[in-house]
Amino acid sequence: MPVTEMGFASEDLTPSIGTRIDADRETLLSGKYGKELRALLQKRGVLIFPQVGLSPDEQVKFTETLGTLAYDYNGYSMGGKPQAIGKISLDETVSPTARQLRNSLLWHLDGTTSETPILASILTAVQLAPEGGDTEWASTYAAYEALSEEDKRAIEGLRVVHSALQLQRNLNPELSYEQFKGARAAPSRSQPLVWEHSDGRKSLVVGATAGYVEGMAHDDSLDLLVRLRDWATQPQFVYHHSWQVGDMAVWDNTGTLHRALPYDPMCGRLMHRSMLAGEEPIG
């Protein structure tokens, strides 16, 4: 996509996932190429805008050039209003959602306990961790396509229960009973293991929220879910990003898994997140 034709330049970062976009702030905020960027996001899973350095207000404006702004996981202001920009930090003095964000170190997609997960997330690097804190994304489209025909037939029609309880047990296998009851009371939802999208493509719905496969023996269920998670997060399906201050990443939450690599919660690492509202239920 030469600049002379599209107003921005692009370069694929891996064969399966990830594209670098070089465009100036004015171009991005104009919304002129929102449709083209949406199409590229759907095709490539992750778009990286190196050191574009959008302010929070500019990030919101850019997000709205791609779709409908969502407020699902960003917490509330002091006045009780949902926030368009969430502060992504593991420091509880910085982010009201810091405790829940511990789950971000596990492979996951957002919204598996919702009927319609968010479409995409937009993340801007404000302050970096001295060590760690890189982000990885895995294409669940590419992972599904690379399965053998035998595996595709074997998992067709299977459903998996996703839950907040499973997330909490990943972080603390020995929850107290009170903690267990609280986590169990949180939402859970049965979802198809294979998401057939409206455009006909298929992706895997796996990751840290996946508790068990319905109708399958416990150990066999775990065997399948762990195997598919490891399959989907092989290096050939993954893009690994080492952040620079001002970098912005946009990813298709419906066709990728993501995780942050471990870092010191008190190191000051801070990201600004906005989101696009979901447009398609999993099934």
Q: Is residue 44 part of a domain?
A: yes
- Structural domain boundaries enclosing 70: 3-92+116-133+241-276
Mean predicted lDDT score pLDDT of the chain: 93
Q: Is residue 216 part of a domain?
A: yes
Q: Are residues 144 and 213 in the same domain?
A: yes
**Which of 100, 121, 107 lies closest to 207 in space, CA to CA?**
107
Q: Are residues 176 and 83 in the same domain?
A: no
Amino acid at position 185, single letter: A
Q: Are residues 127 and 213 in the same domain?
A: no
Q: Are residues 43 and 167 in the same domain?
A: no
Spell 164-203 as b/e; 16+ CB within 10 A means b.
bbbbbbbeeeebeeeeeeebeeeebbebbbbbeeeeeebb
Q: Are residues 11 and 120 in the same domain?
A: yes
pLDDT of residue 4: 39
Residue-wise pLDDT tens digits, 64-114: 999 999 987 766 665 667 789 999 999 888 877 767 778 899 999 999 999
Sheet order of strands, 256-260 included: 238-241, 135-139, 256-260
Q: Is residue 151 part of a domain?
A: yes
pLDDT of residue 204: 98
Return the CATH number at 31: 3.60.130.10
pLDDT of residue 103: 84
Q: Is residue 110 part of a domain?
A: no
Q: Are residues 70 and 121 in the same domain?
A: yes
Residue-wise pLDDT tens digits, 125-159: 999 999 999 999 999 999 999 999 999 999 999 99
pLDDT-based confidence at residue 171 (cuts at 50, 70, 90): confident
Tell me the whole-structure pTM to 2 decimals: 0.93
Q: Are residues 218 and 263 in the same domain?
A: no
**Which of 136, 115, 114, 75 lies closest to 259 in space, CA to CA?**
136
**Structural domains in the chain (count):** 2
pLDDT of residue 78: 56
Q: Are residues 144 and 37 in the same domain?
A: no
Q: Are residues 203 and 269 in the same domain?
A: no
Q: Is residue 66 part of a domain?
A: yes
Q: Is residue 86 part of a domain?
A: yes
Q: Rounded to whole angstroms, how far apart are CA atoms 275 and 121? A: 4
Q: Are residues 181 and 255 in the same domain?
A: no
Q: Are residues 121 and 49 in the same domain?
A: yes
Q: Is residue 13 part of a domain?
A: yes
Q: Are residues 88 and 154 in the same domain?
A: no
Cβ partners under 8 Å of residue 209, min gap 6: 108, 112, 113, 162, 163, 164, 166, 167
pLDDT of residue 94: 82
Residue-wise pLDDT tens digits, 174-221: 999 999 999 999 999 999 999 999 999 999 999 999 999 999 999 999
Q: Rounded to whole angstroms, how far apart are CA atoms 180 and 111? A: 21
CA 253 from centre of chain: 4
